[in-house]
Amino acid sequence: MADKRSRRAEMPAPKVFLARCNTYDQKTVDQRIREAFSAFGGVDAVMPSGSRVLVKPNLLMSYHADKAVTTHPAVIEALLKLLLDAGARVTIGDSPGFGSAARVAQEAGIADVAARLGVRIVEFNESVEVTTPPGSLFRKIYVARAALEADAIINVPKFKSHGQMTLTLAVKNLFGCVVGRRKAQWHMAAGRDHHAFARLLLELASLLAPCFNLIDGIVGMDGNGPSAGRARPMGVLLAGPDALAVDHIAAAIAGISENRLPIEITARQIEHFEASLRQIEVVGAKVQDLALDDFEPPESVDVQFGPRFLRRTLRNALAARPKVDRQQCQACGICADSCPPQAMTLRNTRIEIDHSACISCFCCQEMCPHHAIDTRRGWLARLLIHRST
Ligand code: SF4
Ligand code: SF4
């Protein structure tokens, strides 16, 4: 299956819609999301009438909507109403990190919205092997059949910080279209190289090519995201057909330099991805009016500078590692089950980490339901920060 990247270079400069939205009041959210589609010619211009549309929210794991881990149900409701009014045949789907999509959607308040509007929630439990285009880093990608067979995907991420990728936005949200345990295999395939993982995410986004991306940043998360950080009002909605361009503007709002974003650094090295970052036209609100001056990034540091032979040493000295908070830990073992290289072991009631095997993917932190995993910077990073304060 060919992806749409070959057409990217000839496409006009990407456009991103940006709006201030400080509330989940349904009428207000309905209005903003209608404006988002109008900026691109309306729902009918974004996808053909009668399409089978898959709505892909962030359903990481079971949390109440107030925790800002999952996409808010008011955003999903506004989107579903617009799509159904336009005659689309809509389903909602995801492959959560833990638990079923139905269970996570229930806790997040999305299942009630779906039931009220007659929309089915599908589990991603069957993978399809897809051969990637020449030049891809990975020759094959396995994606959920439901995502591949939809006529159109609408990607609805939550605006959050992320230990490995610094931010999780539209591109990263599509990793949920990889089914269950296959996610761990991809983490292992990329290993400690966050840029290889970023390349996989870019290739996956290119393959799935959502027709529209709508980032819920009304209340987002900073600090130790994507599940253990601080839920915080951000007051923004972003939208557009180009996931990478939308993410670029979101990062600008968070004040995160592109040098801290593995996805963006990787994209800039590859022409067909780099095109998404050229001359982005922002419509609606202005970035400077919505910029956050207190967004706390995660503590992780990736090392891509210095001579290649020194990078490993530097990475070990600088990179953040997971650290278990013994007071918080409930010895449930979920982190050990989620650890791609099985670097964690639950012994009696203690989690032990083999740091020589750890690939700093932070899946453990993402999955810990008790927020018992902190990040600890490498010794050199701690020393440098201590000296500068
Ligand atoms: S997932 Fe969290 S609470 Fe459970 S064993 Fe791991 S660190 Fe402890
Ligand atoms: S210990 Fe945590 S950060 Fe390290 S490899 Fe396992 S899941 Fe990833």
Buried b (16+ CB within 10 A) or exposed e, 353-364: beeeebbbbbbb
Between CA 133 and CA 5 the distance in angstroms is 9
Q: Which of 186, 360, 374 to mutate to test the pocket of ligand 2 (most atoms within 8 A of CB)?
A: 360
106 falls within a domain:
yes
Closest ligand 1 atom to Cα of 324: 7
Band (311; pLDDT cuts 50, 70, 90) = low
Identity of residue 64: H
Between CA 127 and CA 167 the distance in angstroms is 26
CATH number, domain with residue 37: 3.40.50.11440
241 falls within a domain:
yes
- DSSP 8-state code for residue 76: H
Are both 140 and 37 inside the same structural domain? yes
Closest ligand 2 atom to Cα of 360: 3
Closest ligand 1 atom to Cα of 344: 6
Q: Which of 325, 329, 358, 376 to mutate to test the pocket of ligand 1 (most atoms within 8 A of CB)?
A: 329
Band (1; pLDDT cuts 50, 70, 90) = very low
- Cα(347) to ligand 1 centroid in Å equals 12
Closest ligand 2 atom to Cα of 344: 1
Is the model more confident about 375 or about 155? 155
Are both 132 and 86 inside the same structural domain? yes
- Cα(188) to ligand 1 centroid in Å equals 21
Between CA 389 and CA 382 the distance in angstroms is 11
Domain span holding position 254: 7-290
- The DSSP string of 96-123 is -SSS-HHHHHHHHTHHHHHHHHT-EEEE
* Sign of the CA dihedral with 337 first, then 342, 344, and 347 last: positive
What mean pLDDT, rounded, does the chain reach?
91
Are both 332 and 192 inside the same structural domain? no
352 falls within a domain:
yes
Between CA 21 and CA 29 the distance in angstroms is 7
Query: Closest-lying ligand to the alpha carbon of 347?
Result: 1
- Cα(333) to ligand 1 centroid in Å equals 6
Final residue in a domain of this structure, among 290, 317, 344: 290
Q: Which of 368, 371, 374, 375 to mutate to test the pocket of ligand 1 (most atoms within 8 A of CB)?
A: 368
Final residue in a domain of this structure, among 247, 263, 290: 290
Are both 313 and 340 inside the same structural domain? yes
pLDDT tens-digit readout, 78-108: 999 999 999 999 999 999 998 999 999 999 9
Are both 187 and 136 inside the same structural domain? yes
185 falls within a domain:
yes
8 A C-beta contact, residue 110 and residue 76: yes
pLDDT tens-digit readout, 258-303: 889 999 999 999 988 998 898 999 999 999 999 999 999 987 655 5
- Cα(364) to ligand 2 centroid in Å equals 6
pLDDT over threshold 90, residue 378: no
250 falls within a domain:
yes
- Cα(70) to ligand 2 centroid in Å equals 22
> Which residue blocks in the chain are alpha helix, DSSP H?
5-8, 26-38, 43-46, 73-85, 101-108, 110-117, 145-149, 170-173, 182-190, 194-208, 243-254, 262-268, 271-274, 287-290, 308-318, 334-338, 363-367, 379-388
296 falls within a domain:
no
The first and second tokens of residue 378, run together, are 């490498």
Closest ligand 2 atom to Cα of 342: 6
302 falls within a domain:
no
Are both 227 and 281 inside the same structural domain? yes
pLDDT tens-digit readout, 229-249: 999 999 999 999 999 999 999
8 A C-beta contact, residue 1 and residue 207: yes
8 A C-beta contact, residue 116 and residue 202: no
Final residue in a domain of this structure, among 258, 290, 322: 290
Are both 146 and 272 inside the same structural domain? yes
- DSSP 8-state code for residue 348: T
Whether the link from the prior residue into 157 is cis, omega within 30° of 0, is no
Could you tell me what percent of the chain has a pLDDT over 70?
89
Are both 239 and 101 inside the same structural domain? yes
8 A C-beta contact, residue 329 and residue 369: no
Closest ligand 2 atom to Cα of 373: 2
- Cα(158) to ligand 2 centroid in Å equals 23
Beta strands 152-156; 212-222: pairing state: parallel
- Which among 75, 54, 72, 53 has a CA at the least distance from the CA of 64? 72
Domain count, the chain: 2
Evaluate: CB of 344 within 6 angstroms of ligand 2.
yes
Taking residues 341-368, report their average pLDDT.
93
CATH number, domain with residue 334: 3.30.70.20
8 A C-beta contact, residue 154 and residue 55: yes
pTM above 0.85, yes or no: yes
267 falls within a domain:
yes
Are both 165 and 193 inside the same structural domain? yes
Distances (CA, A) of 82 to 26, 77, 180, 200, 341: 13, 9, 30, 32, 43
Are both 281 and 312 inside the same structural domain? no
pLDDT over threshold 80, residue 320: no
8 A C-beta contact, residue 262 and residue 194: yes
Q: Which residues line ligand 1 (CB under 6 A)?
A: 324, 329-335, 351, 368, 370, 372-373
Between CA 258 and CA 284 the distance in angstroms is 23
Are both 258 and 380 inside the same structural domain? no
- Cα(6) to ligand 2 centroid in Å equals 35
Are both 330 and 248 inside the same structural domain? no
Neighbours of 307 (CB within 10 A): 7
Band (380; pLDDT cuts 50, 70, 90) = low
Band (332; pLDDT cuts 50, 70, 90) = very high
Contacts 24+ apart (CB under 8 A), 130-139: 130/1, 130/207, 131/1, 132/3, 132/203, 132/207, 133/2, 133/3, 133/5, 133/6, 136/203, 137/196, 137/199, 137/200, 137/203, 138/189, 138/200, 138/203
- Cα(39) to ligand 2 centroid in Å equals 41
- Which among 100, 99, 183, 98 has a CA at the least distance from the CA of 142? 183
Classified as helix, coil or strand, 3 is coil
Question: Which residue's alpha carbon is nearest to atom 2 within ligand 1?
Answer: 368
In the beta sheet, which residues pair with residue 153? 54
